[in-house]
Structure 1
């Protein structure tokens, strides 16, 4: 393990263990380096790396603090990372992650969603069916997925999946243009997901969500 990676791991362990809590100020660099058995340079690099992903907050002239560790703080930098890796292979990997996480979110939503949100999702399905352009359909598609995940009640999961949605927008639009059945299939699968949510059936919601995301993933693989 590289020295800097080891330093990052040691600082992270202090946070995970609760030794350092959100809002806590880190000990002086020299003291912390000695305590962890690290060089000051490797500790400095670790602090820099952890500040880039918003785990630590470096305040000039004041010190270094553990961030609030809120979902939007920790995941906000992820969109920047994804933008640096926007090729076809990385989009495929994003879709793989969505296929793992979105069905879990849908299953959670089936246990927590309220009747008003079900109504709102049905209205989005109707709007998607009446969309006059692929771009409009994709807008409704993005909003549908966002609201299903929000209904899971897990802010970290919602923030993460919202960030992952961005790199797949162009893929969704291109599929809508080139695949004749894409619009009808998208709307039909959305309605099936809503029916499962309305029936409060987590396993069925998970299954339909898996089918839905996997369809886009398979279409992209077939293009390769």
Structure 2
């Protein structure tokens, strides 16, 4: 089990067992991490994931609380998870992105001007060293929108913009559940921008392809049913030494 998944499960067990009830405030981060035997970082990621699912509510400057757990509050999050695992619309959106976006990025490499490059650099710099998942996703959408606009093909830009909607929540969910997803996304954006800055169309296309493939690979794994437990091989009973003396001494 991944560290974040383990942290999520432990908080869930506290709620199911009644140790945490609707409206309760969670203990201080350091205290709860020590109580559950978790690192503060993994606990923080678990809280972020559970807040996306409307199970926890983070109140800035006040603390983190268990939500009302009312059915109508939880159903929106449940619907999202079901969409992620069962509805192939999200996967189709990423598959279309995998076709169109590398082409748009390659075209942008040949047409982007210095002003647009400066704006892209400033956009990435605004993220800072440790952006939240929500900040990253908003920045990610704008980054790709500007690259599509730099391709010089308005229809291509419109097509990509029209399919970004179904992918937003999947991007957020990846950010809060996949380790290093935020840092990896930032690094890939930097690599795409480096290729754009040198007007290297093929390298820009390659990095855009890798960037989307990483998200698609995660999405496919997230939608897969859990693997069955491996079957244990049948026990082999060792032969007893000397159990067949006559055979040992038998002549051909």
TM tier, smaller: 0.5 to 0.7
Structure 2 match to 1:172: 171
| 1:124 to partner: Cα distance | 1.6
Name the Cα RMSD after superposition: 1.5
Q: Compute the TM-score of the two structures, normalised by the length of structure 1.
A: 0.60
Runs of 4+ deviating beyond 6 Å: none
Structure 1 match to 2:161: 162
Give CA-to-partner distance per residue, 1:85-122, whole Å, 9 cap, x none. Answer: 98631100110000010000000000000011111111
Task: Specify which structure has the higher proportion of helix.
Answer: 1
Q: Quick one: distance in 1 between partners of 2:95 and 2:171?
A: 15
Structure 1 match to 2:220: 221
Q: Quick one: distance in 2 between partners of 1:147 and 1:196?
A: 15
* 1:182 lines up with 2:143 in the alignment: no
| 1:131 to partner: Cα distance | 5.4
Structure 1 match to 2:209: 210
Structure 2 match to 1:127: 126
| 1:129 to partner: Cα distance | 4.2
Structure 2 match to 1:141: 140
Say which one has the larger Rg: 2
Q: Which runs of 5+ in 2 are unaligned?
A: 1-82, 225-252
Give CA-to-partner distance per residue, 1:114-158, whole Å, 9 cap, x none. Answer: 011111111222223445421111100000000000000000000
Q: Quick one: distance in 2 between partners of 1:98 and 1:111?
A: 20
Structure 2 match to 1:116: 115
Residues 129 and 184 in structure 1, CA contact (< 8 A), matched pair in contact too: no
| 1:180 to partner: Cα distance | 1.7
- Give the stretch that moved more between structures: 131-140 or 98-107: 131-140
Q: Which runs of 5+ in 1 are unaligned?
A: 1-84
Q: Quick one: distance in 2 between partners of 1:132 and 1:193?
A: 19
Residues 131 and 137 in structure 1, CA contact (< 8 A), matched pair in contact too: no
Q: Quick one: distance in 1 between partners of 2:215 and 2:128?
A: 18
Structure 2 match to 1:56: none
Q: Compute the TM-score of the two structures, normalised by the length of structure 2.
A: 0.53
